A and B are shown apart, each in its own frame.
Chain A
Amino acid sequence: MSDTPVIEVERLVAMANQIGDFFAPYPSAQRAEGIRNHLRHYWDPRMRAALLAHLDATGGADLAESVSIAARLLRDESRAGAKAYAGPPRAG
């Protein structure tokens, strides 16, 4: 396996920004948690990894700020065991 991203990064960025658009009306803590939960439990880990690699490499200028914040939360291992949920995002 090479370092080729599982899917082209432009596509992942577009998808992530759409997720960000949905959560935009939520207060910031809920917004970040909503996006994180979605990426964590609906995205293939290679897609998440590619997004994070892109964020590291470019600073994520093409990503919505809320998405960058939420993507970084994926690295927080203390949240790794948090259960998936459907429904409105929970804060904290």
Chain B
Amino acid sequence: MPIPRKPDGSVVTTCAYCGVGCGFKAETLGGKVVRMIPWKEGKANHGHSCVKGRFAFDYYAHPDRVRTPLIRDHIDEPWRAVTWDEAIGHAATRLRDIQARHGTKSVGAVSSSRCTNEEIFLVQKFARVALRNNNIDNCSRICHSPTQFGLSATLGAGAASQHFDSVLQADVILVVGANPTEGHPVFGSMLKRRVREGARLIVLDPRRTETVNSPHCSADVHLALRPGTNVAVLDSIAHVVVREKLYREDFIRSRCHRDEFEQWAALVGDDRYSPEVVGPQARIDPEDIRRAARLYAAGPRSTIYYGLGVTEHSQGSTGVMCLGNLALACGMVGREGVGVNPLRGQGNVQGGSCLGSWPHMFSGYRFVTDPEVRSSFERAWDITLDAEPGLRLPNMFDAAVAGTFKGIYIQGEDPVQSDPNRDHIVAAMRAMECVILQDLFLTETANFAHVFLPGSSSLEKDGTFTNAERRVSRVRKIVEPLAGLADWEITVRLTNAMGYALHYDHPSEVMLEIARTSPAYRGMTYALIDRVGSVQWPCDENAPEGTEVLHTATFPRGKANFMLTEFVPTRERADDRFPLLLTTGRVLSQYNVGTQTRRTGNVAWYAEDLLEISAQDAAARGIVDGDPVAVSSRVGSTVLRARLSTRVSPGVVYTTFHFAQSKANAITTDLSDWATNCPEYKVTAVEVMRVTPSMTRAQPTPVAEAVEA
């Protein structure tokens, strides 16, 4: 067979993996997807791709895909295959019954950033109009909720200020707690391209990642800070900016509140944030802090890209505010080549934030406690809405453990694997009377579910994703949903079964409703996206084809705000019993909890979660490369294979959370961000001990999915 089969169909769509949101042409042959070709006109990727989006699409047709709805009365019973009508009816009956016995607020819902904007919008609408409460959250709770909080507080909009191409105009690139070459590879390639052209690179990361050093791209300054010291180090960079008067007086006067700047400058300018004080705390050279500050402030165009290394801390929101403050002080907002930009993990995390999947906010980032906003939705939906904030996802689990929360509708999330302090999550799951799970596969969470609604992959439905640069792109149906229904149709049916009549013929009608009810999406239509390829919000009468750079003339609140960012160390501390700090992340070839990528050829590169440990810490514990090791924290333990690595400094260990078997989240704690409850995945005090192979076998077999391809 030397001549390759030629595809006979091609449809432009958007990758569902990371927040870069690459445009792809899905090529088909005889109705099956045979390859994904990066779209040259994709404005996020310009024809480039990574191993996940380009090749790892086979999961969609994997034998493990659930093709029929399943129900059971108790989680110890086997699943029973049923019709859609029976499953939906059963789910609605159970939810109504729980509400009758335990109150309206005893149930909730969570939406998924792997689903489309339309689907996310419908799940939050389901919670508000069918459950009649605000117990609705989305998975950005556990990744970028501090971004929304911290950037709203400083710049006034909880989203990236730039577009990705803007990095090509930057002179100085500051990467904080992110590893774009693995987590956001296509953007990582663009960043490296700019560095090869001469841009200076500053990286704040406990690990010597590929972003720090790779062929023809190395950081001018790498601050390999101790996990948990972000805020101290960022305040110290600000200290240098203030003390050496590197700030932009004109920008501060015209664009910010001068008195707030004074207040902030007094705080960070204090001696306790001098590099000489913070350097030893963070185990970095004070001179490197000074170099980073001077480089960033000098610009002339300096930009910030950051990831979960900033947000997933007990001071996650404060860390984001530090970045906003720094950019404001140096006047690095509102032009090409500058800005503050979150790199978002999942394809539609920004959409998850935008579309009202919050217990305290409606779509368009407006508080549910605001009577005017609420009444506008009450008019649109013809129903009285709950006037009070609902429970956040971690609080739903807390409440389940406390016995006050009894049922949940989970759209495409796997909290048992992905959320911190696994034992706590499992206890919460077991305490609930009805867990309705909508997913592609029987995940870890499915072990605790009573109703399983088989969802559709992004190749099987129409909709839109909003990527990390606020870009709304079309997701187009390439093949029919394997189980018969697209996710949006499932939510619509469930809403109807709960007694609130809902009807849409196509997701484009949901987008019209989103546009009517969400200011930033006011001008967004499928016709517009089809015409111009993709559209960055805000899109309205002032910006009919969208907005690339935010804050050019004014901020959403007029002037921007400086926030006071005192460093408060996390309660999670290393001590004699748990002397190492564990931090977590991801690798290039795998994606989050791995439900998709573990079922593809990508396991050729990474087939298990490994524990990266320095040679010094390994030697002190008699560990050699490849040894199985027990990793224990104050909340639990797991066994991983050790990989000796020069990427981590002594005192720091690192692992990923891609594989269910490794239960990395058995050890992470339930400490969380002060403002948003975003979990502190990035700092866990642990001890690592070599275990003999027999001890490894003695570990209980995980209740994981049956097949690992």
Contact = CB atoms under 8 A, between A and B. Distances in A.
Contacts of A83: 367, 369-370
Interface string B252-288: 0000000010000001000000000000000000000
Interface of A is mostly: loop
A61 interface: no
Contacts of B388: 44-45
B675 A6 contact: no
A47 interface: yes
A5 interface: yes
Given A1-B102, A42-B360, A84-B370, A22 B566 contact: yes
B568 A21 contact: yes
B369 A41 contact: yes
A84 B367 contact: yes
A25 B267 contact: yes
B152 A86 contact: yes
A53 interface: no
Contact of A41 (B154, B260, B389, B402): B389
A38 B403 CA distance: 25
B395 A47 contact: yes
Interface in B135-190: 149, 152-154, 156
Contacts, number: 92
Interface string A34-51: 000010111111110000
Interface size class of B (residues with CB under 8 A): 35 or more
Given A6-B402, A22-B675, A43-B389, A87 B568 contact: no
A41 B362 CA distance: 13
A18 interface: yes
A76 to B, nearest CB: 16
B102 A19 contact: no
A88 B367 contact: no
Interface residues of A, number: 30
Contacts of B568: 18, 21-22, 24
Contacts of B402: 4-8
Contacts of B102: 1
Given A18-B674, A44-B359, A87 B566 contact: no
Q: Which of B152, B317, B391, B401 has the most CB of A within 10 A?
A: B391
B674 A21 contact: yes
A7 B399 contact: yes
Interface in B518-569: 557, 561-564, 566, 568
Contacts of A46: 105, 404
Closest 4 CB pairs of A and B: A18-B674, A86-B152, A84-B367, A7-B398
